[in-house]
């Protein structure tokens, strides 16, 4: 297990300022060059207009949108922390998370303008629409255009960057705080699992408020100079159309999504001849899904982990998909796995145990949470079933 060279994700992306599609969203084509320019402007807006400093938080509330990725890379530049809100939550749940994370700013998709007005938000928190609309306020899209000057870049490279809330096994929201090192370690393991190349075209249909949506393939693809085609929300017929139209080579799913796709009336007509691998995870994967895809020679690899592990910890590789069907794979290339009993003693082969993960892919801490004291650690090992 080699160590990850500490470099911030925005520094990775700066090297890829090329006139090649980075993100395709609806009818928009965002090149790497355009993306980097927007990130710089947005960083200045966060720094100068929002007065964000190192360690300050802001939220993104809305469906999948390239602007969420721009905000994440901008946060990386100035040392801020982004927290994506699950837009499916009820208002009281969102209010709890806002109060718990205590952000300085909430950026929201204008489609959620009515809901934002219904949520009780402390007056000290600014709310800013991401895109232009009929809403009576200037949006991020408009306001950042006039931002100029120099970015006060952070000296430390391994600062916290992404705050993702998860219920885990407790049913109570916990804010898993992921640092730069964890995100880059995760990206490198995704490159290994998917055999990612700069020529790949990746479909992202999962919601970006989940760590799986943003970290399993989206960020790893951008950091590899691959192209991402982003769905605003998953829609099976549209996903199948995208796979053929853009000659998608790789995609990430969960069982419910894959099941809807193969049951679509367009499945038989779909052109998936360029599809090299589908990765899947988040819950138990039914064997019939694996067999269905393998019968048409499309490898399906399983990804196993948790929000707290970035999420990659255990995975299959493309070359092992057919020969190890049903397996979740082996320990990731940049982490170690151990199964232990209640006393943290390693169990014998064939015996059940609790999974410990050791590596730079694990969380920094749980945000603002006394329960962190109950977290079982052995060195830098983390036990995901900690209560």
* Structural domains of the chain sorted by starting position, each given as residue range(s) with its CATH number in brackets: 31-157 (3.40.50.980), 180-332 (3.40.50.12780)
Angle at 332 between CA 329 and CA 333, to 5 degrees: 130
Q: What is the pLDDT of residues 269-305, one digit of tens each?
A: 888 899 999 999 888 899 999 999 999 999 999 999 9
Look at residue 384 in the predicted model and tell me its pLDDT: 47
Look at residue 7 in the predicted model and tell me its pLDDT: 66
Look at residue 34 in the predicted model and tell me its pLDDT: 94
Q: What is the pLDDT of residues 354-378, one digit of tens each?
A: 899 999 999 988 898 755 544 544 4
Look at residue 6 in the predicted model and tell me its pLDDT: 57
Among 196, 377, 210, smallest CA distance to 305 is for: 210
Q: Between helices 287-294 and 255-263, what is the axis angle to 10°?
A: 50
Look at residue 386 in the predicted model and tell me its pLDDT: 43
Give yes or no for a contact between 348 and 338, defined as CB atoms under 8 angstroms apart: no
State the DSSP code for 347.
Answer: P
If you search the block for the tokens 């966060």, which residue do you land on? 46
Q: Which two tokens stand for residue 354?
A: 């609790």
State the DSSP code for 291.
Answer: H
Which segments of the chain have a pLDDT < 70? Answer: 1-7, 133-137, 155, 168-171, 370-387
Distance of CA 342 to the CA centre of its chain: 31
């Amino acid at each position: 297990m080699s160590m990850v060279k500490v470099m911030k994700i925005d520094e990775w992306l700066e090297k890829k300022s090329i006139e090649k599609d980075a993100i395709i969203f609806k009818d928009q084509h965002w090149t790497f060059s355009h993306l980097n320019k927007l990130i710089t402007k947005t960083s200045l807006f966060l720094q100068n207009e929002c007065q964000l400093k190192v360690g300050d938080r802001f939220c993104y509330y809305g469906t999948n949108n390239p602007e969420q990725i721009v905000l994440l890379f901008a946060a990386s530049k100035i040392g801020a922390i982004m927290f994506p809100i699950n837009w499916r939550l009820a208002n009281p749940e969102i209010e709890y998370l806002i109060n718990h994370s205590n952000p300085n700013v909430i950026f929201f998709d204008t489609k959620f303008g009515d809901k934002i007005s219904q949520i009780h938000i402390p007056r000290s928190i600014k709310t800013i629409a991401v895109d232009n609309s009929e809403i009576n306020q200037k949006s991020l899209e408009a306001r950042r255009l006039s931002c100029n000057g120099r970015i006060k870049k952070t000296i430390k490279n391994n600062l916290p960057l992404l705050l993702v809330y998860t219920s885990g096994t407790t049913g109570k929201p916990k804010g898993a705080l992921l640092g730069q090192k964890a995100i880059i370690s995760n990206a490198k393991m995704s490159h290994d699992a998917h055999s990612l190349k700069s020529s790949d075209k990746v479909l992202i249909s999962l919601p970006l408020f989940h760590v799986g949506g943003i970290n399993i393939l989206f960020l790893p693809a951008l950091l590899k100079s691959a192209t991402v085609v982003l769905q605003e929300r998953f829609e099976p017929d549209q996903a199948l159309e995208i796979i053929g139209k853009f000659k998608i080579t790789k995609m990430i799913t969960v069982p419910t999504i894959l099941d809807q796709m193969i049951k679509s009336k367009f499945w038989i007509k779909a052109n998936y001849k360029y599809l090299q691998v589908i990765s899947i995870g988040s819950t138990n994967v039914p064997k019939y899904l694996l067999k269905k895809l393998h019968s048409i020679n499309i490898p399906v690899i399983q990804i196993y982990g948790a929000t707290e592990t970035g999420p990659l910890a255990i995975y299959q590789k493309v070359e092992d998909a057919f020969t190890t069907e049903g397996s979740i794979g082996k320990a990731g290339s940049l982490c170690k796995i151990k199964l232990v009993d209640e006393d943290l003693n390693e169990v014998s082969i064939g015996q059940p145990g609790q999974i410990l993960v050791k590596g730079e892919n694990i969380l920094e801490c749980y945000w603002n949470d006394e329960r962190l004291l109950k977290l079982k650690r052995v060195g830098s090992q983390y036990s995901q079933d900690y209560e």
